[in-house]
Amino acid sequence: MNKKLSLEMINQMDRKSFTEALGWIFEHSPWIAERAWAKRPFFRVSCLHHVMKSVVNEATMEKKLALLRAHPDLASRVQMANASIKEQSDASLDQLTEEEYEDFLTLNKAYTEKFGFPFIMAVRGQNKDSIRESIQERLQLSPETELLEALCQIYKIACFRLYDLINE
């Protein structure tokens, strides 16, 4: 989504338009935007973000896991949402050597086997070394702690995307 929207425009949208405009903010999970629509009007982007986070926090564990599993592996070469492609490219994850790529594959596989969802990180401002280090550190966490950390990272990603999309 390249066109900037205003909060006024967002607040005036019907449910369908709102979901179409914001449904991509949380990777392949338009249900979050659809549920957030009922809480309009939003007076700040931070309020919209808070409502969207609340929608996730109030969701069932099944829905939360589906949200986590909707994210692509970092540094993977699979089809992913345009926003993810850009975010990963900005962190140079599309420029890995073959050895680095294999290392990320191995780390991603170990992470997914342990936690049951892909490694998720808000990569804005990060690079391949800091991302690799984070995977290694987070592999040491308990499943309960990592679930919370993964959701926290999703909230950061959503926040970046909302502020990129909406003018206050």
For 114-168, write each residue's pLDDT tens digit.
999 999 999 888 888 899 999 999 999 999 999 999 999 999 999 999 999 999 8
Please report the domains of the chain, with CATH numbers, ordered by start residue: 5-167 (1.10.3330.10)
| Predicted local confidence at residue 118, as pLDDT | 95
Determine the average pLDDT of the residues in 15-39: 97
| Predicted local confidence at residue 73, as pLDDT | 75
Query: Is the Cβ–Cβ distance between 55 and 36 less than 8 Å?
Result: yes
| Predicted local confidence at residue 20, as pLDDT | 96
Catalytic residue check, 71:
yes
| Predicted local confidence at residue 88, as pLDDT | 60
| Predicted local confidence at residue 71, as pLDDT | 87
Distance of CA 117 to the CA centre of its chain: 13
Structure tokens belonging to residue 57: 């926090």
The shares of helix, strand and coil residues in the chain, as percent rounded to the nearest 5, are: 65, 0, 35
| Predicted local confidence at residue 80, as pLDDT | 45
Dump pLDDT digits (tens) for 57-112.
999 999 999 999 998 777 654 444 555 556 566 556 667 788 888 888 899 999 99
CA–CA distances in Å: residue 146 to residues 16, 92, 100, 115: 33, 25, 24, 8
- Choose the catalytic residue: 28, 49, 50, 71: 71
